[in-house]
Structure 1
């Protein structure tokens, strides 16, 4: 649902400020009133362990409703007035409702209830803006992340001892990506408020040299999106071709300058859907937490790309192949630490692949996939001629399968290990032709790299003055060799369909596994709305 509303960023803050005089009525001087207030707070907080413990340890002193709490009330109301900017479900912490509750409270009991309401609302807001609105693991089983939620009691205690405005400001993710996503969200809201990007472009394909009304529709759409200056031409000329190419680059499409079916499909995506992608990216940024590592590996599944990032700047990037869009083969999202690389690796065939793919082949032809060795439980190589494969099922198959090091090895000539329970790693591949594809979801889940040697050199340059010579000397032996990384580094496998640039337009990618659609549905159910902002 799209909510249209004027842009008044400090409306609620001003309203809150006007209430401060009334809020002074929350003073409770008489002993009987103090006792009644504390009793009301105890009752209202009783079912929430964190709230109950906090007020018990503070002897039920007010956090929000006393004369000395005015700055805290004002700062919180101001923060809540900006919650919608961050794509949060404002119905969870409505500043108008809270201000009205403060204003209406007269008796010690009502004031005590308002006190606990504000604390409960604060905890909800703090958790949402800092660590995300929804639990990532409840949305999709391919998201192997836990939101970095703080202990609720600790959060209340810390807030009570801090400068209110500074504490609330610090809850907002401080990554440059989040700040840029926030600006893109506000921009798209203004686009929606101004009527969007106009009519969709009809037809299935347009090529340079074409002319007519459909070309005009394409031109007008790209002008509205900011890819072209205004023009009255009806011809698919060089200027229009250049604009299409730039659009393709920004959306992960092959930049051939031809508005084919895939390109037109992306051009016709509505600003509302793009806004939803940005809101989901902001939620994902909250899940990732603040500590990415000064030097880290970043794999964006939807962009089919792996990068090495140092001090916030990408110092190396390569094309990647990720998991197929099948339930047991999609690349999962998680973070871990890369510890070593293996040069000339042996491929230990995962049991799921051995039993689902190779066992049926062996049952038809015992000599199939002859490049794989059969190994028993004691580590001995088994002759295929001595095995009747038809007697085994996927459950009873007793052998491991291995491919020795070689240029034909499924892992190529090097793999990069960050040991994890999902058995996911980065590696080389002999199937180089796949990297020329626009969409590169072909693996069983691991991430294949187009330039694995260059990636290895970048990793090794911090521990040797000659990373190329070091790597090549190990490679030349033909033997499997483990190389420890003296400085292990974090690996973040993410899924972002909206990614900002330090300079230039936000880039968008397709939701290849449908995960972002499920996240947006969860956010929608939580109360997040798309705003169309006028003015």
Structure 2
């Protein structure tokens, strides 16, 4: 005997009925058979009496083809209007209730974000709207069709660009920086398509204004014309504009607890629910602009091209997964050839004094003092520094996966922590309080006690210990922010990354056509 599951049968039947209903129901697309009549009533211009959806569609296609090179996402916009039978939603639904004027008004005020209204065609949209509201401005039906299509395409394109700019930034950091490895979300076609379905324009435009307190503080400083100590107004403004763009990038930590390093501030913080529970001085990689030779006021056009110095610390995010106590330093080839071999050539006992072992073809060399390092091939030998007080990594290093082979580590060289300019390392980040970071990562208890004990041993052995919970780490580059006391802070552009960023922003601000490249 066959048994039926009545619930499943009922559900299946309901789905079939719904599918049949969907096939027989009329399309959800708006019917504009009364296009001409509605436009005439709203404009009082007799030209629109002869307007039809079919006549508009033919002209709309032509204008779309003509404007293709001027819009950022031509395929997306073309597909949207094709799917909707070239229905002019902005003209029909948003002009005469003031929405398009309102939208253009938001575009006109983008200088509050350090942007230019020309990027979003504010004047062009305002002028086209004025033609529709002047019953004598549009002279014939062909002009009417073209103006409808042009206003529709321009508004759609500008609204998408404005939305993307405020929510994601003008630039993709991956495209302007060579050493940028932080996960950064960029606009996608689904999100941009949704913008074209907005019904409450004001509510939407208000919703995309960045709400981050840091952004609002920089925005206020920009509008107030603030001037930083020791800077001109021009340079201060450019600092604010560059860092507001950074704040628009979707690359901020989403976790409640994480480690963050700000390269220009030479500082590390452990953040917990928005509060710094540990901070310390750090030393970062040596930068191309450490002597402040180039500024945001006076710089060469070539400075817009990102040319990282070989020792610059990259921007990235990752997860700290383990620590190595009393680490061995596997000396990178670049350091070995440019520094270690040079010193060994001058002093035959340099390697033994620094506890550095030499390897050839993976085997340890017993008597490296006999090697003529002055004439030896640069890539013939490998070098490793044993654990100890002189080890360049100090007593502990913190490991996280990244393409640049950088990590956080202790150091025997403490003096640089007293310097105001601490871009002095080979690329890794030296910690002012490595033991404090270890305690934050592992918490008090047996594991941390083991780490602290191992760091104090006289004859140390390398020991690797995994974190019970991996800790997110972000290495960032921010030169302007408001501190906890509400005081605006500025830091020198030690890597010249502000110059690169501001230069690219100016290129895009100069012409809205550039937005097509975003």
Structure 1 residue 379: Cα displacement: 4.9
- Which segment is superposed worse, 110-119 or 354-363? 354-363
Contact 1:407 1:413 in 2 (8 A): yes
Paired position in structure 2 for 1:85: 112
Q: 1:329 to 1:286 in 2, by over 3 A?
A: same
Correspondence 1:101 to 2:83: no
Paired position in structure 1 for 2:386: 404
Distance 2:64 2:440 in 1: 59
TM-score (norm 1): 0.72
Q: 1:310 aligns with which of 272, 287, 297?
A: 272
Structure 1 residue 92: Cα displacement: 0.7
Contact 1:38 1:61 in 2 (8 A): no
Distance 2:510 2:273 in 1: 33
- Which segment is superposed worse, 319-328 or 384-393? 384-393
Paired position in structure 2 for 1:49: 75
- Which segment is superposed worse, 406-415 or 520-529? 520-529
Contact 2:406 2:429 in 1 (8 A): yes
In structure 1, stretches of 5+ residues that fail to align are 1-19, 197-265, 530-535
Distance 1:419 1:129 in 2: 31
Paired position in structure 1 for 2:441: 459
Q: 1:366 to 1:434 in 2, by over 3 A?
A: same
Q: 1:447 to 1:467 in 2, by over 3 A?
A: same
Correspondence 1:384 to 2:411: no
Paired position in structure 2 for 1:117: 154
Contact 2:182 2:251 in 1 (8 A): no
Q: Cα deviations across residues 113-153 of structure 1 (Å, max 9, x unaligned)? A: 22111122122222222222234345453445575321245
Distance 1:79 1:28 in 2: 34
TM-score (norm 2): 0.74
Q: How does 1:205-244 map to 2 (within 5 A)?
A: none
Paired position in structure 1 for 2:178: 141
Q: What is the aligned-residue RMSD (CA, Å)?
A: 3.1
Q: Cα deviations across residues 312-341 of structure 1 (Å, max 9, x unaligned)? A: 211110011112234211222222222222
Q: Cα deviations across residues 398-423 of structure 1 (Å, max 9, x unaligned)? A: 22211111122101111112221112
Contact 1:36 1:108 in 2 (8 A): no
Contact 1:305 1:320 in 2 (8 A): yes
Q: Cα deviations across residues 44-91 of structure 1 (Å, max 9, x unaligned)? A: 565522222232333333342223675753553343233110112322
Structure 1 residue 481: Cα displacement: 2.0
Q: How does 1:506-521 map to 2 (within 5 A)?
A: 506-521=488-503
Distance 2:86 2:242 in 1: 39
Contact 1:90 1:528 in 2 (8 A): no
Correspondence 1:59 to 2:85: yes
Q: Greater Rg, structure 1 or structure 2? A: 2
In structure 2, stretches of 5+ residues that fail to align are 1-40, 133-137, 139-143, 289-308, 512-518
Q: Cα deviations across residues 252-311 of structure 1 (Å, max 9, x unaligned)? A: xxxxxxxxxxxxxx8432233222211111111123534442212111111111111122
Structure 1 residue 178: Cα displacement: 1.6
Q: 1:77 to 1:467 in 2, by over 3 A?
A: farther
Aligned residues: 431
Distance 1:496 1:27 in 2: 58
Q: Cα deviations across residues 25-44 of structure 1 (Å, max 9, x unaligned)? A: 99996343343354346435
Q: 1:27 to 1:44 in 2, by over 3 A?
A: farther
Residue 90 of structure 2 aligns to a residue whose secondary structure is coil
Q: 1:54 to 1:140 in 2, by over 3 A?
A: same
Q: 2:168 aligns with which of 113, 121, 131?
A: 131
Distance 2:190 2:66 in 1: 16
Q: 1:181 to 1:485 in 2, by over 3 A?
A: farther
- Which segment is superposed worse, 437-446 or 332-341? 332-341
Q: 1:109 to 1:305 in 2, by over 3 A?
A: same
Distance 1:306 1:22 in 2: 61
Structure 1 residue 440: Cα displacement: 1.4
Correspondence 1:278 to 2:240: yes
Q: 2:260 aligns with which of 281, 284, 298?
A: 298
Q: Cα deviations across residues 196-245 of structure 1 (Å, max 9, x unaligned)? A: 7xxxxxxxxxxxxxxxxxxxxxxxxxxxxxxxxxxxxxxxxxxxxxxxxx
Contact 1:367 1:384 in 2 (8 A): no
